[in-house]
A and B are shown apart, each in its own frame.
Chain A
Amino acid sequence: MGRVFEFKIGLLLSFLFLIVSLGNAATIVVSPKGQEKVISNAFEIAQNGDTLIVQSGVYQEGAMILKKGITIIGEGTPVIDGQNKFENLLVEHDNVRIQGIVFKNSGSSSFTDIAALKIKNSKNIVIENCVFENNFFGIHTINSSYISYLNNELISGMTKGKPSSNGIHCWKSNHLTLKNNTVKGHRDGIYFEFVTQSTIENNHSVGNKRYGLHFMFSHDNLYKKNEFRGNGAGVAVMYSKRVHMINNLFAENWGNAAYGVLLKEIDDSKIENNIFQENTIAILADGANRIQIFNNQFTKNGWALKIQASCSDVELNKNNFIANTFDLATNGNLVMKSMDGNYWDKYEGYDLNKDGVGDVPYRPITFYSLIIERNPGALMLFRSFFVKLMDKAESVFPSLTPENLKDTAPIMRKIKHSVNDTVFKYQ
């Protein structure tokens, strides 16, 4: 009985304490016209749990450092300006929430990673509805966990002569959530290094100078419903395990070294229900093991798939291949785990028993694609009559193309995928 009573008292006390501490949470208003004009001063005054309301205006306060767990709310799009010299804001405390602030004109440097917003050694941080304009790094995350970036917009690369670095840059962090962000004109749109157990959902990485998404050593991450479009070199992902990419759109990554997705040393990963459209190479896999490529749509790519012989146990099922110049290319004796049940628009076989599955296997590797893999100079003969004739002869009597690379059950009609998600509205 006594113990229960004590417990109740304890509960009551802690509840009271909670109320008191909530009551203590003050609201500080910063405004160019108000009492408190300087954000850094407000940082000094504020206690953990306080709310800082920043009203519209331009704040040029050099490099700000926040070491308290407060909420910052921007009213009427206040601007924190780095004057092209400073790091706008460095956060080094847990439990911070920042909403509706415009971060502008961070400094740039070849020696240090100057970011508009840097988060270091922190936990439980939410950055929401913020705008990042004309910065070197947009958001830089170091050694932090449980961080959310929601509905932010990062645009850079508009000032001539000013270098731009990565949009959302994360290093050695875990449990991140990136949702509904838009990154444009940065070097890499989203960059991860040693980032684990994170979710990247519904982001738009468009027109970045190098990669739309670039990650290394980042295991167990989920990439869902994102759009990667028109980036200089597409998307490159390396040295990671258990990556799951689902319902993404990879489009218009067009150029001599641009890839829809470059998979370099990726293991145990799934690529499902994505759309690859108008990329020079939709997927280039090098040293990738146990990759499952299911239910994807490959349309109008130069090469739909380039899978190097260094890959093993790749599974390729139920994908649609439509209007690609080459469906599959490889550089040696590639062995796939399975490659069945895809739809290939170049398939010329028949289906006598009308079960929707072609009766003769389809070989996606053409003779010419083998030749240019060995001798790029042979691209001089691209689309020539000679090449067409050669391919035709080889497809009638296959002798040089790899014997085991074939789809034994090619589907006769285009497969309907359940990818009618938000991604589709960008088509």
Chain B
Amino acid sequence: MKKVVKYVAFDILRNKIVIAYMLFLFVFSMGLFLMEEVPEKSLMSLLTLNLILVPLISVMFSTIYIYNSSEFIELLAAQPIRRKSLWLSFFIGLASALAIAFFIGCGIPILLFSANSVGITMIITGLLLSVIFVSVSMFSSVYIKDKTKGIGVALLIWLYFSLLFDGVVLFVLFQLLEYPLEKLIIGLSILNPIDLVRIISLLKMDVSALMGATSAVFKQSFAGNIGSIISFVVLLLWMVLPLYFSVRKFDKKDL
């Protein structure tokens, strides 16, 4: 298993797209920090970028990678390796490579310029987002055999989480305008890791006062000691659940 993880991770880290992704993140975040005098503002812009780019790259890249290495997977499946550990090592390889890319690209500039609780939160949530979307892409690609269809679905997944979901949320909120919405909002934000990460980061930043009563509700649930544990556990579930189902499927899959 170790060998496979090593192979996958190094293979990905040498990949041109991942290097370009890492470089882009690095240049962009360095640029933001150097241009803006107040690090909080750059963090804010960086957050917006991360919430769009990190899931997109994670989900698309890992989907394409898995489809491209389907023959390699078949070959390895013929070897005396358990399928579970084969699939998990692919996951670990992908996740660690993308997490490293994010950490070098985004984490190091943040640590250099704003190593406070907001910055640390941004790094941790960014790493979690990378891993979550690797896990989600593995879930989708194990169920879909056709490559083109699989990539299309991956794109749809990204579109859903970063755009469509928010549209649905807005629709629901307006439909239920007359009801107390606090619990619903909490529930809805748990259903989307991108939203959850955005809310956690905003709560850490000073802008939370802008969010009025909504922010107070979020603070109760997602900030503070118990709150951070809750949000961390939710994000962890987002990581583990798709992976668990994909492993189960891969175990029985006819390759």
Contact = CB atoms under 8 A, between A and B. Distances in A.
Contacts of B209: 254-256, 258, 280, 302
Contact of A302 (B51, B198, B202, B207): B207
B210 A375 contact: no
Nearest to B41: A323
Contacts of A379: 210-212, 214-215
A23 interface: no
Contacts of A325: 207, 210
**Chain A interface category by residue count:** 20 to 34
Contacts of B52: 385
A383 interface: yes
Given A280-B210, A302-B210, A375-B177, A381 B170 contact: yes
A376 B170 contact: no
A329 to B, nearest CB: 11
B251 interface: no
B210 A377 contact: no
Contacts of A255: 209
Contacts of B202: 382-383
B198 A377 contact: no
A387 interface: yes
Contacts of A5: none
B177 A256 contact: no
Contact of B47 (A375, A381, A383): A383
A256 B169 contact: no
A382 B210 contact: yes
A18 interface: no
A383 B181 CA distance: 20
A33 B218 CA distance: 63
A108 to B, nearest CB: 30
A375 B216 contact: no
B163 A256 contact: no
Contacts of B44: 383
Nearest to B166: A386
Interface in B3-25: none
B144 interface: no
A377 B51 contact: no
B192 to A, nearest CB: 10
Interface string B207-225: 1011111111010000000
Interface string B76-120: 000000000000000000000000000000000000000000000
A384 interface: yes
Contacts of A374: 177
Interface in A236-270: 254-256, 258
A380 interface: yes
Given A375-B177, A377-B181, A377-B185, A382 B166 contact: no
* Best-buried of A256, A380, A389 by chain B (most CB within 10 Å): A380
B195 A380 contact: yes
**Chain B interface category by residue count:** 20 to 34
Per DSSP, chain B at the interface is helix
Given A375-B173, A375-B174, A385 B213 contact: no
A258 B210 CA distance: 10
Contacts of B189: 380
Contacts of B212: 256, 376, 379
Nearest to B51: A385
Contact of B199 (A256, A380, A386): A380
B188 interface: yes
Nearest to A301: B210
Contact of A389 (B163, B173, B195, B199): B163
A11 interface: no
Interface string A221-239: 0000000000000000000
* Best-buried of B48, B188, B202, B211 by chain A (most CB within 10 Å): B211
B166 A385 contact: yes
B58 interface: no
A393 to B, nearest CB: 12
A12 interface: no
Interface string B135-177: 0000000000000000000000000001100110110011001
A22 interface: no
Contacts of B195: 380-381, 384
A384 B49 CA distance: 10
A236 to B, nearest CB: 17
Nearest to A378: B173
B206 interface: yes
Contacts of A385: 48, 51-52, 162-163, 166
A74 to B, nearest CB: 43
Contacts of A378: 170, 173
Contacts of A256: 209, 212-213, 215-216
Interface of B: 44, 47-48, 51-52, 162-163, 166-167, 169-170, 173-174, 177, 181, 184-185, 188-189, 195, 198-199, 202, 206-207, 209-216, 218
Given A256-B209, A380-B214, A384-B195, 18 more contacts: A254-B209, A256-B216, A302-B210, A325-B207, A375-B173, A375-B177, A378-B170, A379-B214, A379-B215, A380-B173, A381-B195, A383-B47, A383-B48, A383-B202, A385-B51, A385-B52, A386-B167, A387-B166
